[in-house]
Amino acid sequence: MNLSKRKKQIIIKLSTIGTMLSLFAMQSSMCFATAIGTAEVRTATDNIKRVITSIAMPLGGVLIFASIVVAALKMIANANNPQKRAESIGSLAWICGGGVVLGASLIIAGIIVNVATNGTENLLGS
């Protein structure tokens, strides 16, 4: 009983601390939001574009390629076992699904960045 009561007290304290930190973060973001200009927005969006094109796309391509290689090696290793070979072939569907999700996320990120950068001057009053 004592251990359960102690856990409840710890959970209450942690949730209180989390609430206070989130309120502080919201308040500080409101204070800093007024000082952002057009140059900062352009710099931020250029950094986001750079990260997407230089890190996300190649990393995703490497992960998909490595997954296909691993699935192929599993198929070769399980050539005599039809059940395990079928499982290896089934993993290719998951790899294709992951590639589609990666491609869709990159397209959506590109759309969001383009929408955010077009007309930024008008929104900020420059």
- Domain positions in the chain are 1-35, 37-124
Pick the residue with more confidence: 33 or 108?
Answer: 108
Across the chain, mean pLDDT equals 77
pLDDT for 77-103, tens place per residue? 888 888 888 888 888 889 899 889 888
pLDDT for 22-34, tens place per residue? 766 666 555 555 5
Q: How confident is the model at residue 126 (pLDDT cuts 50, 70, 90)?
A: very low
What single-letter DSSP state applies at residue 95? H
CA-wise closest residue to 125 among 33, 38, 35, 43? 38
> Quick count: other Cβ atoms within 10 Å of Cβ 88?
20
pLDDT, residue 35, reads 56
